[in-house]
Amino acid sequence: MKSKASTADNLFLLMAFVVMGILYYSSSMSYQDQSIQSNLQRWLANEPLRGLLEGVRFTYAGSEVSIEASSYIGFIEFFIRKAAHFISYFFLGLFWFLGLRNRMDNVYLTLLISVMLSAGYASFDELRQSFNPDRSALMEDVVLDTAGAIAGSVIALVSARPRSKGSRRRAVQRRR
């Protein structure tokens, strides 16, 4: 293991724990406490894009997702909630990777560990929700969360890779 960890690396690890804390808190809330339907009804009263979205219909966790099945507002809220899952775990994977990259010798092992830590937390989070009568634990959400963590970790990997000497020289020349 490397020991070149910097203050920035520690800050990224702290950010991973902050994201986990936010996720823990939000998972403890009931669906009713998290619902944004009243705001959506105000903001989307004219139901923009209804005609475009009416034909969209699919199954998620054994339930039909469509305007017909859950109303226009419920349909929009479904996508917002699932986007929140993906984005939260995107940042969790990103922060784990950035916090661990200088502590480990192999960048691909760092990628694997950051994804596994995020997926493990997603599983733990869904398990916790199974004990809350106002929440539902879904394996599909763990898969969605893990996809977000993979995306965040891979983007961190790609953006953190050292560039070749030639590309560094070109970047310096462009600045002049």
Query: Across residues 100-127, what is the average pLDDT?
Result: 95
Q: What is the pLDDT of residues 73-97, one digit of tens each?
A: 989 999 999 999 999 999 999 999 9
CA angle 89-95-99, nearest 5°? 150
Where are the chain's structural domains? Answer: 7-175
- Percent of the chain with pLDDT strictly greater than 90: 61
End-to-end Cα spacing for the chain: 38
pTM of structure: 0.84
